[in-house]
């Protein structure tokens, strides 16, 4: 028997991935899959693994080989069908479940010292007596100062199985003694409603950062609180919301639509078409509505935006959304890993799929945002490349909308070029703004709380003076950011706003942060203008009559 030797032998796993790729190409993506072909492909795979295991020059890691084969198979499909190893799957599900197991603190690290920014209301840490501003000296009787720990390493030390306990040593301001707290870990909520506040006596604002199992409960609590404060109109912020559970998106859209209005429908090769309709339980079926979107708005967020737009329920403001119109379902494997497989397309009420094009070469798909910048779409609506063959009409006002590439906003807002300032980008990349704000609050927390008392007072009265701004630039230099006076002058007022917002976040939370930071958002200001004008809504109403 002859043996052929090559100087560039293909690694063993390449054989497996090649076989699986062929399996995908000729069976998985066909409208009708031949069971005999599937059986033969599986038998071939088993044979190859057996041959490699018996005869290859070195021992084979069969588990690694099988995982690589699965990854290669899914790479031949759409961009969102992926294999998730067992050790990653639980972590990936955590944000969408809406909780984790821990002690319930939000912290940051300042000069190798862990500082508690806030405690979760009624969480274990708060109940034990930990306070904002406390410095964590030890976790589980292990010193954690001066070690250069990362945020993730601290998280791993603080989290643990529900019911387990951990000793936390802290030092408070104006005290050199270390206080010890034994805290029993519990389930801690992860909030998807990131901020909610009143912008004016009649305009409310709610920001949702993902669609989780608890989103609708959080949203209804927030919107009812705003109604009590006099809210009549709403800005719903879905910018950079990458999606989540389809059912959560349907529930949210239901709160804006009337009974029996279609929210979305799904169709797949192996799954029957299914319609999702609004019920009679909507919490905000009246009142003007603006939905903020951008290129980071995807999946479940696009379901909500598409339903609002197709029923002419409100206006979409911002930039074209990501364009993900595929539905995934997790399939669990025996070892705790999973395949998140695309099983269907979803369609907005007008019948459009907003999925942007893709091929087996995923590079162009995931570089699409960069391509939008290059062709000028992020700065001028006329550069949006809508497909004229995928023209649809809204259900009520019969306005033209497009499929095949995200949700095109009703009111376009270009990228703010000031946010692309190179000096500002350097400050943000080095985390200099947040670092300075944390240091500032660490020194002035008690005085700020006494002087301003409430987040609203701070919003209206606190100013970043030139002395503080000088201290900031000096701090940024120590963080490695070279000062650029010309660029600094261009963003001086924006910097004041950002520093103020970060200070507010460290004392009064995320709602205060967004209320301040949004004042420099051109999309946010446009949303307010739209809500204050009668014309856009009057035009919609005339077309619907």
Confidence of residue 289 (pLDDT cuts 50, 70, 90): very high
Residue that wins the pLDDT comparison between 217 and 44: 217
Q: Is 324 a catalytic residue?
A: yes
Q: Which residue has the tokens 């300042």?
A: 110
d(CA 135, CA 168) in angstroms, rounded, equals: 10
d(CA 412, CA 318) in angstroms, rounded, equals: 5
Give the per-residue pLDDT at 34. Answer: 65
Angle at 17 between CA 16 and CA 20, to 5 degrees: 90
Confidence of residue 173 (pLDDT cuts 50, 70, 90): confident
Q: Looking at 251, 299, 355, 512, which residue is catalytic?
A: 299
141: CB partners within 8 A, 6+ apart: 167, 169
Sign of CA dihedral 178, 181, 182, 186: negative
Q: Find the mean pLDDT for residues 204-227.
A: 96
Q: Is residue 316 over pLDDT 90?
A: yes
Alpha carbon separation from 118 to 123, 210, 323, 358, 384 (Å, rounded)? 11, 21, 36, 43, 43
Q: Looking at 328, 353, 355, 521, which residue is catalytic?
A: 328
Question: What are 494's two structure tokens?
Answer: 């924006």
Kindly report the average pLDDT of the chain as a whole number: 87
Q: Is 328 a catalytic residue?
A: yes
247: CB partners within 8 A, 6+ apart: none
Closest-CA residue to 500 (of 469, 477, 454): 469
- Residue 225, number of CB atoms within 10 A of its CB: 14
d(CA 512, CA 524) in angstroms, rounded, equals: 15
Q: Is residue 542 over pLDDT 70?
A: no
d(CA 158, CA 109) in angstroms, rounded, equals: 14
Which of 103-117, 266-280, 281-295, 306-320 bottoms out in mean pLDDT, i.e. has the lowest?
Answer: 103-117
d(CA 79, CA 367) in angstroms, rounded, equals: 12
| pLDDT tens figures, 2-16 | 444 333 333 334 434
Q: Is residue 239 over pLDDT 50?
A: yes
Q: Is 426 a catalytic residue?
A: no
Q: Are 357 and 335 in contact (CB under 8 A)?
A: no
The helix/strand count (H/E) of the chain reads as: 20, 21
Residue that wins the pLDDT comparison between 95 and 418: 418
**Taking the model in full, what pTM does it have?**
0.85
d(CA 295, CA 142) in angstroms, rounded, equals: 44
Q: Is residue 97 over pLDDT 90?
A: no
Q: Which residue has the tokens 């205060």?
A: 512
Q: Where would I find the H helices in 343-461?
A: 363-366, 368-374, 422-429, 432-452, 455-461
| pLDDT tens figures, 15-54 | 344 434 434 443 444 445 567 777 787 788 788 878 888 8
Q: Are 356 and 405 in contact (CB under 8 A)?
A: yes
Q: Are 360 and 278 in contact (CB under 8 A)?
A: no
Q: Are 498 and 283 in contact (CB under 8 A)?
A: no
Beta bridge partners of 206: 196, 236
Please tell me what DSSP assigns to residue 533: -
d(CA 403, CA 387) in angstroms, rounded, equals: 7
d(CA 533, CA 535) in angstroms, rounded, equals: 6
Question: What are 393's two structure tokens?
Answer: 């009409």
Q: Is residue 143 over pLDDT 50?
A: yes
Decide: helix, strand or coil at residue 372.
Answer: helix
Give the per-residue pLDDT at 94. Answer: 67
Question: What are 455's two structure tokens?
Answer: 């987040």
| pLDDT tens figures, 455-510 | 999 999 999 999 999 999 999 999 899 999 999 999 999 999 999 999 999 999 99
Q: Where would I find the H helices in 453-509?
A: 455-461, 466-478, 485-490, 492-508
d(CA 265, CA 157) in angstroms, rounded, equals: 44
| pLDDT tens figures, 422-462 | 999 999 988 899 889 988 998 899 999 999 999 999 999 99
Give the per-residue pLDDT at 152. Answer: 82
Q: Where would I find the H helices in 278-318?
A: 300-310
Give the per-residue pLDDT at 216. Answer: 97
Question: H-helix or E-strand containing 198?
Answer: strand 193-198
Q: Looking at 210, 324, 356, 498, which residue is catalytic?
A: 324
Give the per-residue pLDDT at 33. Answer: 54
d(CA 252, CA 283) in angstroms, rounded, equals: 9
Question: H-helix or E-strand containing 401?
Answer: strand 400-402
Which of 166-180, 197-211, 229-243 bottoms out in mean pLDDT, i.e. has the lowest?
Answer: 166-180
Give the per-residue pLDDT at 21. Answer: 44
């Amino acid at each position: 028997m002859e043996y052929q030797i090559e100087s560039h032998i293909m690694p063993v796993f390449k054989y497996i991935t090649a076989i699986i790729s062929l399996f995908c190409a000729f069976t998985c993506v066909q409208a009708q899959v031949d069971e005999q072909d599937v059986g033969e492909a599986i038998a071939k795979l088993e044979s190859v693994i057996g041959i490699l295991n018996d005869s290859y020059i070195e021992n084979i890691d069969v588990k690694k080989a099988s995982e690589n084969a699965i990854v290669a198979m899914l790479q031949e499909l759409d961009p969102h069908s992926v294999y998730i190893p067992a050790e990653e799957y639980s972590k990936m599900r955590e944000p969408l479940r809406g909780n984790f197991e821990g002690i319930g603190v939000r912290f940051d690290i300042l000069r190798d010292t862990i500082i508690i920014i806030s405690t979760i209301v009624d969480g274990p840490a708060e109940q034990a007596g930990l306070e904002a501003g406390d410095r964590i000296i030890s976790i589980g009787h292990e010193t954690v100062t001066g070690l250069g720990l990362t945020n993730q390493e601290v998280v791993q030390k603080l989290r643990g199985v529900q019911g387990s306990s951990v000793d936390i040593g802290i030092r408070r301001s104006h005290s050199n003694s270390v206080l010890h707290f034994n805290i029993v870990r519990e389930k801690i909520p992860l909030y998807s409603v990131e901020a909610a506040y009143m912008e004016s006596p009649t305009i409310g604002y709610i920001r949702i950062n993902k669609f989780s199992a608890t989103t609708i409960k959080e949203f209804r609590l927030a919107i009812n609180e705003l109604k009590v404060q006099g809210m009549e109109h709403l800005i719903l912020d879905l910018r950079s919301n990458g999606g989540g559970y389809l059912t959560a998106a349907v529930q949210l859209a239901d709160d804006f639509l009337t009974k029996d209005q279609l929210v979305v429908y799904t169709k797949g090769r192996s799954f029957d078409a299914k319609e999702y309709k609004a019920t009679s339980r909507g919490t905000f079926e009246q009142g003007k509505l603006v939905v903020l979107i951008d290129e980071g708005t995807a999946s479940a967020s696009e379901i909500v935006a598409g339903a609002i737009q197709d029923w002419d329920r409100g206006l979409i403001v911002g930039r074209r959304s990501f364009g993900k119109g595929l539905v995934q379902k997790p399939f669990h494997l025996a070892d705790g890993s999973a395949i998140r497989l695309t099983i269907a397309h979803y369609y907005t009420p007008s019948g459009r799929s907003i999925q942007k094009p893709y091929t087996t070469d995923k590079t162009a798909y995931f570089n699409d945002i960069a391509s939008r910048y290059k062709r000028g779409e992020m700065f001028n609506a006329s550069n949006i490349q809508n497909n004229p063959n995928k023209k649809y009409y809204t259900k009520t006002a019969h306005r033209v909308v497009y499929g095949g590439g995200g949700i095109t906003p009703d009111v376009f807002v270009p990228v703010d070029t000031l946010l692309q300032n190179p000096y500002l980008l350097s400050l943000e990349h080095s985390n200099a703004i947040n670092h300075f704000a944390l240091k500032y609050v660490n020194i002035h927390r008690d005085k700020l709380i006494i002087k301003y008392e409430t987040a609203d007072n701070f919003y209206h009265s606190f100013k970043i003076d030139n002395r503080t701004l000088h201290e900031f630039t000096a701090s940024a230099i120590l963080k490695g950011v070279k000062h650029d006076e010309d660029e600094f002058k261009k963003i001086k007022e924006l910097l004041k706003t950002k520093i103020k917002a970060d200070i507010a976040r460290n004392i009064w939370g995320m709602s205060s942060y967004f209320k301040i930071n949004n004042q420099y958002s051109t999309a946010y200001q446009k949303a307010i203008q739209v809500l204050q004008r009668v014309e856009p809504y009057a035009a919609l109403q005339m077309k619907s009559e």
